[in-house]
Structure 1
């Protein structure tokens, strides 16, 4: 399943994405964590500020599923790590969306790049 253009536009313009990967039981959602998100090449991406040490990142990669809330929408989603090739375009999207933030530099540095995750919607 893919995001609609309308959904991606709303999420891309929003600064309120909360991510809740499933816990180790595979059923219970984790505590929602507010994170930055960007849209690149028709896909939704997030990164762990603390890199692969981020707890939500570890749960997302391990469980591959959870839920996000963004732009007034709540969706069950899948998570997958990405290959290095997309990271330059994801960096560009972070630069465009968060240019004024003092937190931009760490989000496009090697630590956060190593924790880039693609989020895909699941059928409801």
Structure 2
């Protein structure tokens, strides 16, 4: 399994936003969507604010692969289900990183719906 480099982790984690595109049924990338990303240790996590029914999230679940861009890093990824036991730590990471936004906006990414749609980004070589 490929791992993130420290430089990639630092650059992506420092980025305010991440562009994410999952694969469509024909193997082409969907149009990128702008989302937030957080880092826990050597892992990166994203959430679908609209929950498991969002188009990019469904594509991520169905095909398991896509592409991200953030902090000058452009990388193919595999989408892995996040360990649900990490949800409180992921919530805390979102609250800390995005605390300069109104609480109502941050609440959307720590809602039950978003927590149920948490993915770990795994780099592909």
Aligned to 1:88: 88
1:104 aligns with 2:106: yes
Q: CA RMSD in A?
A: 0.9
**Structure 1 residue ranges, 4+ long, deviating more than 4 angstroms after superposition:** none
Counterparts of 1:97 and 1:46, CA distance in 2: 13
Task: Measure the CA separation in 2 of the matches of 1:94 and 1:51.
Answer: 16
In structure 1, the gaps of 5 or more residues are none
TM-score, normalised by the number of residues in structure 1: 0.94
| TM-score, L = length of structure 2 | 0.93
Gapped regions of structure 2 (runs ≥ 5): none
Q: Deviations over 1:6-58 (max 9, x none)?
A: 11111111013100101012x20010000000001210100001111211111
Q: How many residue pairs get matched?
A: 122
**Aligned counterparts of 2:74 and 2:83: Cα–Cα separation in 1:** 27
